[in-house]
Structure 1
Amino acid sequence: MRPIEALLEIARDEGVTRIFGNPGTTELPLMDALAEAPDLRYVLGLQEGSVVAMADGYARASRRTSLVSLHVAAGVANGLIGMLNALRSRTPMVIVAGQQDRRHLLQDPMLSGDLVGLASAATKQAVEVQHAGDLPIVLRRAFALAARPPAGPVLVSVPMDLLEEDTDVAVTDRSPVTGPGAAEAGEAAALLARAERPAIIAGDGVGRAGAAGELVAVAERLGAAVYHQPMNDGIDFPTGHPLYAGMLAPHNAVIRETLSGHDAVLIAGCHAFMPHHYTHGPAVPDGLDIVQVDEDPAEIGRNFATRHGLTGDLAGTLRALADHLGGRVPSARERTERLGAEHARKRHDVEAAARAAYGPSPMDPRAAAHAVAAGVPDGTVVVEEAITVGLKLRAVLRQDRPGSYVHTVGGGLGWGIGAAVGTRMADPGRPVVAVLGDGCAMFGLQGLWSAARYEVPVAFVVMNNGEYRTLKDTLDEGGGASARYGRYVGMDLGPPALDWQSAARLFGIGAVRAGSADELRDAVAEVRDLAAPLLIEAPVAGHGEDR
């Protein structure tokens, strides 16, 4: 079997049905081979950032490792932001990057470069294949490493001439790996059962492991308040559950204040809290009893001391904890009722304030977020990359079904459009609404072309305030010169104003402009019946206009 045939055969055996890419000369052997491989669909993106974002969304929704094809050093460089997002969000992905022909690499030919060096900081591993016979082994290793906790992207650089070799290579068989059984959880359960004010922090590892149901069982048997980790990437605990207390803010001081009201906490599948802005002191208050559960042994005690650290299969470990807790906390039901009433009051107040802010465009950000939350049909997947409105959306969006909310904590802007396209491709039975800030959308605008080309029925809701509002708000909090003089340098997207209707037409996509919060809600509600992509422009009040 020739090297190019081995690449395709291993891809099939690893469950790949789509290859996301943007081709160049070094990919011509792959593109030619795909002409005879109709079972492997090539998904074209016009810029590598959108390509990797589509693969990210697809991998999460399909729960399979995605395969990406990038072109030489420039393509890898363009795709780095997507790899960084995938690394932070722990998305399993294999990137095959075409390297220049080895026979003249010594001459520094155009397009060549250190692909491994470029990608190393944004991937779990980057490696270049030098011998055709090594290609199957390297690819098998890449797929295994990409999926192994903590999951993430792996890059394989493959010289163009290697794929063209007429060499017989052997394809190694796939080696299935199953996680270890649940660790002994009896002592950890006893500690949690003794707590009078227990809490749980649901990390994104729970959602990735499909263990939300097991975490619900633990929470209900404890009667514990449950918080999502800061800036959670998915649904790790049903947000409509009476025990759900909301998302922890990404600030150590706020986390510490919140957890100080508890005497024990279970931290499940959470990567170290990852604060955003610096605040003095640790995230965990002194004297707090912590039980930490994670598939990655390196997470246990990484940033704070734990009383019990359990590793291994996350769903199995949580199931074991729930079994040990059965009947040991008589007050669990009373706690659940009390916390449920308290959480319901807080939710009512937030939603009432948002409804009171309804009105014509430009909309109050609270009203825009509530309109989206009120409009999304049951079963819809919300892909969110809206810095200002996104935080307000989290406070009013009620989603219980796993996979219903998709975000990236990676921080690389421009991810949302591509991720939404990949999400809908992987799960075409579920409507998808992408909620995007106008600044974020500009970073990944090329992804709209792929949505149009493949007729992917996603509603792209662009929250248009014409500025980087989050930066202005942060400067205001610090009381700097910008706030004093009302002059913010490099933070406005106009003039000229961005014309989102024209942007949609450029890519052959229909567009509407919401004239009010009610119109936005109604436009989002129609996403279930979409047969083609649609851009919904939502004019939102800018800095200081909604105060």
Structure 2
Amino acid sequence: MRPIDAMLAILRDEGVTTVFGNPGTSELPFVDGLSQVDDIDYVLGVHEGPLVAMASGYARATRRTAFVSLHIAAGLANGLVGLLNASRSRTPLVVTAGQQDRRHLASDPMLSGDLVGLAKAAVKQTFDVQHAHDLPIMLRRAFAAAAAPPAGPVFLSIPMDLLAEDTDVSVPRRSTVAGLPAAAALPEAADILCAAHRPAIVAGDGVGRDGAVADLVALAEAIGATVYHQPMHDEVDFPAGHPLHAGILPPTNAGIRQRLAGHDLVFIVGTHAFMAHHYTPGPAIPPAAHVVQLDTDPAELGRNFPVRLGLLGALGPSLRGLAELVGDFPPARTRIRLARRESLARAVEVDRKVRAAAGAAPLDPYGAVGAIAAGLPADAVVVEEAITTGVLLRDMLRLDRPGALVHTVGGGLGNGIGLAVGHRMGAPDHPTIAVLGDGCAMFGLQGLWTAARYRVPVTFLVMNNGEYRTLKQTLDSWGSASSATGRYVGLDIGHLDFTHAAEFFGIDTVRATDTDHLREIVAKSAIADGPLLVDVPITGHAGRNP
């Protein structure tokens, strides 16, 4: 079997039906091989940044490893931000790039470079394929490594002439690897949980990724624990409408410590070190609180804080085992009743803020997110990359269905458009609404080309305030000279008419005129048959118009 045929056979065997790619000369043997088959689709992206985001969205929707083909050093460099995001979000990708022909590689031909060195800092593992007979086994290893905990992107450099060789290679069979069992020491963990007077649970993105939300709910109800989402979470890791849900932890150690104050036990499940963003002095865990931690990655246990008990094991089975061991725990019922009253009070306050902020464009940001939340179809997926408006939106949304929220804690901007396109391709039955900051949208605008080309029915909401509002707010929190004078250097992008951008790519577009109009637009996403871009004018920093 020729190397290219072996490669395609392995892709099929690994469940790949879609390749996300942007080709160049060094990928021509691969795309030529794809032209001979009809069971693997090729999704073209015109820039590698949003392209890698599309693959990430597809992988998250299908819960399978996605496959990406980039073009040599330059294309790989363009895709690095997506790889960094995928690494942080634990998204399994197998990424290849075609290297220059080996017969003149020593002469440093155009576009060649150290592909493995370039990728190494952004991915979980790298492979430099130099011999045709090594390609099948290295590709098998790549798929296994991408999916193994902690999941993430894996990179292979494949010289273009290697795929074109007329050499007979063999394809190794796919290995079956058993997953992790439930953690050991569950009886000891159950005793610690039941002995706590005021337990808290931090629900990390591993819970959503591993399909363990219902198991965490069962345990939280069994002990009556207050549940917080990890900072800047990527997934629905606990139902936001559940009375035990107390919101999202802030992305600073001081903020986390303040929210967890009063809890004598913190049970941390499937989260990467709390993901603090801005520096604040001191630890995240209150000094009086004990920590029990459960994760599938042994490197996470006790990584940034001491734990009373660290549990390594599959999240779902471990949580189910704990819930069974806890059994009927009488204090839980009282705790749940108190939490329900607090939850209703929070909902009333949110509703009051939304009503006060309703009105015409430019919309108050709170009014805008209230309209979005009110208009969401029941089975919708929200892709959020809106920074300041996104913080308000998360406070507003009551998403209960696992998979209903898509974000990346990687922080590399420009991910939102591609994530939404890829996710809708992988989950075609769920209306998809992408809520994007105007600055974020500018980083990944080329992803609209793919949305238009393949008629992907995503509703893109661009929250347009003409500035980098989050940076202004950060300077204000520092008591900076910029804040005192009102002069912010490099933080204004001006009024941009995103309807023109949509028209350029051939996408239907509309500008929201008021909160009722925006709610109606979002509601109609349930019956969308193609992409729609919505320009949403919102007030800027300190209430100024864009």
TM range, smaller chain:
over 0.9
Residue matched to 2:315: 314
Q: How does 1:84-163 map to 2 (within 5 A)?
A: 84-163=84-163
Given that residues 361 and 538 in structure 2 are in contact (C-alpha distance below 8 angstroms), is that contact kept between their aligned partners in structure 1? yes
Q: How does 1:387-466 map to 2 (within 5 A)?
A: 387-466=387-466
Distance 2:448 2:466 in 1: 20
The AA in structure 2 aligned to 1:22 is N
Distance 2:119 2:370 in 1: 40
Residue matched to 1:169: 169
The AA in structure 1 aligned to 2:242 is H
Q: What secondary structure, in the 3-state scheme, does the structure 2 residue paired with 1:122 have?
A: coil
Give deviations 1:102-149, integer Å, cap 9, x for gaps.
110100000100000100000001221000000011001100000011
Identity %: 62
Q: What secondary structure, in the 3-state scheme, does the structure 2 residue paired with 1:262 have?
A: coil
Residue matched to 1:371: 371
Residue matched to 1:505: 503
Q: CA deviation at 1:180?
A: 2.9
Residue matched to 1:518: 516
Q: What secondary structure, in the 3-state scheme, does the structure 1 residue paired with 2:136 have?
A: helix
Given that residues 497 and 535 in structure 2 are in contact (C-alpha distance below 8 angstroms), is that contact kept between their aligned partners in structure 1? no
Distance 1:157 1:505 in 2: 37
Distance 2:308 2:189 in 1: 8
For structure 1, the 5+ residue unaligned runs are none
TM-score normalised by structure 2 residue count: 0.99
Residue matched to 1:355: 355
Given that residues 438 and 466 in structure 1 are in contact (C-alpha distance below 8 angstroms), is that contact kept between their aligned partners in structure 2? yes
Residue matched to 1:323: 324
Q: CA deviation at 1:178?
A: 1.7
Distance 1:238 1:483 in 2: 38
Distance 2:345 2:503 in 1: 44
Q: CA deviation at 1:355?
A: 2.2
Alignment of 1:544 with 2:545, yes or no, is no
Distance 1:326 1:512 in 2: 54
The AA in structure 2 aligned to 1:108 is D
Closer, same or farther in 2 for the Cα pair 1:546/1:317, shift >3 Å? farther
Given that residues 180 and 296 in structure 2 are in contact (C-alpha distance below 8 angstroms), is that contact kept between their aligned partners in structure 1? no
Give deviations 1:31-78, integer Å, cap 9, x for gaps.
111111111000000000011000000000000000000000000000
Distance 1:546 1:253 in 2: 30
Q: What secondary structure, in the 3-state scheme, does the structure 2 residue paired with 1:249 have?
A: coil
Q: How does 1:140-289 map to 2 (within 5 A)?
A: 140-184=140-184, 185-289=186-290
Given that residues 364 and 546 in structure 1 are in contact (C-alpha distance below 8 angstroms), is that contact kept between their aligned partners in structure 2? no
Q: CA deviation at 1:290?
A: 1.1
Residue matched to 2:303: 302
Q: What secondary structure, in the 3-state scheme, does the structure 1 residue paired with 2:311 have?
A: strand
Residue matched to 1:38: 38
Alignment of 1:52 with 2:57, yes or no, is no
Distance 1:246 1:416 in 2: 23
Give deviations 1:377-429, integer Å, cap 9, x for gaps.
00100000001100000001011111000000101100000110000000101
The AA in structure 2 aligned to 1:78 is N
Q: What secondary structure, in the 3-state scheme, does the structure 2 residue paired with 1:477 have?
A: helix
Distance 2:270 2:338 in 1: 27
Residue matched to 1:8: 8
The AA in structure 2 aligned to 1:134 is D
Q: CA deviation at 1:345?
A: 0.6
Distance 2:277 2:31 in 1: 42
TM-score normalised by structure 1 residue count: 0.98
Mean CA deviation greater in 347-356 or 507-516: 347-356
Q: CA deviation at 1:331?
A: 1.2
Distance 1:383 1:127 in 2: 32
Q: CA deviation at 1:8?
A: 0.7
Mean CA deviation greater in 76-85 or 358-367: 358-367
Q: What secondary structure, in the 3-state scheme, does the structure 1 residue paired with 2:121 have?
A: helix
Distance 1:319 1:174 in 2: 30
Given that residues 179 and 312 in structure 1 are in contact (C-alpha distance below 8 angstroms), is that contact kept between their aligned partners in structure 2? no
Give deviations 1:272-318, integer Å, cap 9, x for gaps.
00101111101001131111000001100000111111112111111
Distance 1:425 1:431 in 2: 11
Q: CA deviation at 1:343?
A: 2.0
Q: What secondary structure, in the 3-state scheme, does the structure 1 residue paired with 2:53 have?
A: helix
Residue matched to 2:528: 530
Q: What secondary structure, in the 3-state scheme, does the structure 1 residue paired with 2:542 have?
A: coil
Given that residues 70 and 96 in structure 2 are in contact (C-alpha distance below 8 angstroms), is that contact kept between their aligned partners in structure 1? yes
The AA in structure 1 aligned to 2:381 is V
Q: CA deviation at 1:484?
A: 1.3
Mean CA deviation greater in 100-109 or 345-354: 345-354
Given that residues 29 and 163 in structure 1 are in contact (C-alpha distance below 8 angstroms), is that contact kept between their aligned partners in structure 2? yes
Residue matched to 2:82: 82
Q: What secondary structure, in the 3-state scheme, does the structure 2 residue paired with 1:238 have?
A: coil
Give deviations 1:126-177, integer Å, cap 9, x for gaps.
2210000000110011000000111000000000000000111110111121
The AA in structure 2 aligned to 1:65 is T
Given that residues 124 and 154 in structure 1 are in contact (C-alpha distance below 8 angstroms), is that contact kept between their aligned partners in structure 2? yes
Mean CA deviation greater in 353-362 or 15-24: 353-362
Distance 1:513 1:145 in 2: 45
Q: CA deviation at 1:546?
A: 6.5
Residue matched to 1:483: 483
The AA in structure 1 aligned to 2:312 is T
Q: Output the aligned Cα RMSD.
A: 0.9
Given that residues 260 and 285 in structure 1 are in contact (C-alpha distance below 8 angstroms), is that contact kept between their aligned partners in structure 2? yes
Distance 1:14 1:236 in 2: 27
